[in-house]
Amino acid sequence: MAAQKKLPFRPIQEIQKSIENRLKGVKYKVAIMSGKGGVGKSFVTANLAFALAFKGKKVAVLDADFYGPSIPKMMGTEGQRVFATDQGLMPVVGPLGVKIVSVDFMLPDDTTPVIWRGPMLSNAMLELLENVNWGELDYLLIDLPPGTGDAPLTVAQMIPNITGAIIVTIPSEVSQKVVMKSINFAKRLNIPILGIVENMSGFTCPCDGKTYPIFGSGGGKKIAQEAGVDFLGSIPLDPRISECNDKGLPFFIEYPESPAAKSFLDIAEKVIKKIEGDQE
Ligand SMILES: Nc1ncnc2c1ncn2[C@@H]1O[C@H](COP(=O)(O)OP(=O)(O)OP(=O)(O)O)[C@@H](O)[C@H]1O
Ligand SMILES: [Mg+2]
């Protein structure tokens, strides 16, 4: 009978130390989260990364959504590959020099699903974090999977000293309740909340120029007030956004003059001020 191969046991402190070592050139680590799926976390992560890079920051994105990675497509880097060197795994370099790491860069094609149970997911994430060579960075944005369950918890706990979390919501009442859960989730993990971004807030119709509050209005501000956290800004609904995301084009680069791109620059400014203080 073949002997069962046992993985060598490694104490968690040792793994954490090596992850910390890999991330030592990273100044600020920002997690993007929401208790709710489909509110635009990945879209916000991708475009905030571009906005920060546009402002001269060295930026990287970690797509921590192993089951539904969408960052490569939204950042115009679909089909690319990370490559291994003696110095570790080198991220893909996207528009404006933003470095990107996603499990998608390791799968044979974009329809291959990741079928892993929790422990495998944790191991894969640990392995990734222990091996990526990020180099020197100002900002590492982490696109967390949706919800407040096992997956976001594991990721959030594995990355040491997260600088803060940005919580994404849409204006509807239903999403407000779930968002409060992710605010409490961040608080329990002792991750400071940098603020709330309201996505899909209002649609300006090209035919009459009027703004229609498709999912209601003011929800993001209201929840920020209730939770005692900052409101960072809102991003309008824009059909060009979903079109770009579907086509694999980076929205911020394609439409730099759009109201949404301008909002991202405002939000980036606020994030920089909040994290780096007034020395900017
Ligand atoms: N402001 C917007 N205007 C138009 N479409 C948008 C906007 N924001 C996001 N979308 C579209 O909505 C969909 C969901 O966005 P996204 O994938 O970023 O959400 P998510 O919160 O990351 O989802 P998941 O929970 O599955 O990770 C995408 O198809 C995206 O193109
Ligand atoms: Mg996502």
β-pairing verdict for 164-169 and 26-33? parallel
11 is a domain residue: no
User: How does pLDDT run across 175-216, given as a tens digit for each residue?
Assistant: 777 788 888 889 888 899 999 999 998 887 777 877 788 877
77 is a domain residue: yes
Among 26-30, 89-93, 148-152, 276-280, the range scoring the smallest mean pLDDT is 276-280
- Label residues 137-153 b or e (16+ Cβ within 10 Å = b): bbbbbbbbbbbbeebbb
pLDDT value at residue 208: 80
51 is a domain residue: yes
Residue 147 CB–ligand 1 contact under 6 Å: no
Domain with 127 in it: 22-279
Residue 169 CB–ligand 1 contact under 6 Å: no
Residue 28 CA, distance from chain mean position: 13
Average pLDDT over residues 95-105: 93
In angstroms, what is the span from residue 259 Cα to ligand 2's centroid? 22
Ligand 1 atom with the shortest distance to the CA of 70? 17
DSSP H stretches of helix in the chain: 12-22, 41-54, 71-74, 118-131, 150-158, 173-188, 219-227, 239-247, 251-254, 259-276
Residue 198 CB–ligand 1 contact under 6 Å: no
Share of the chain above pLDDT 90, in %: 53
In angstroms, what is the span from residue 78 Cα to ligand 1's centroid? 17
Average pLDDT over residues 144-160: 79
Can you say which residues are annotated as belonging to the binding site for ATP? 35-42
Q: ∠54-58-63 over CA atoms, to 5°? A: 95
Residue 163 CB–ligand 1 contact under 6 Å: no
Q: Is the pLDDT of residue 265 over 80?
A: yes
pLDDT value at residue 136: 98
71 is a domain residue: yes
Q: Is the pLDDT of residue 231 over 80?
A: yes
Q: If pLDDT is split at 50, 70 and 90, which confidence band does 4 have?
A: low
Q: Is the pLDDT of residue 112 over 50?
A: yes
Q: Is the pLDDT of residue 99 over 60?
A: yes
4 is a domain residue: no
Amino acid at site 162: I
Residue 237 CB–ligand 1 contact under 6 Å: yes
Q: Is the pLDDT of residue 1 over 50?
A: no
Ligand 1 atom with the shortest distance to the CA of 235? 1
Over the chain, what is the mean pLDDT? 87
10 is a domain residue: no
Query: Total domain count for the chain?
Result: 1
Q: Is the pLDDT of residue 242 over 90?
A: yes
Q: Is the pLDDT of residue 21 over 80?
A: yes
pLDDT value at residue 94: 97
Average pLDDT over residues 169-175: 80
Average pLDDT over residues 260-267: 96
122 is a domain residue: yes
* Local structure of 112: helix, strand or coil: coil
Among 8-12, 86-90, 158-162, 262-266, the range scoring the smallest mean pLDDT is 8-12
118 is a domain residue: yes
Q: Is the pLDDT of residue 2 over 60?
A: no
Share of the chain above pLDDT 70, in %: 90
CATH code where residue 154 lies: 3.40.50.300
pLDDT value at residue 250: 97
- Residue closest by Cα to atom 8 of ligand 1: 40
Ligand 1 atom with the shortest distance to the CA of 200? 1
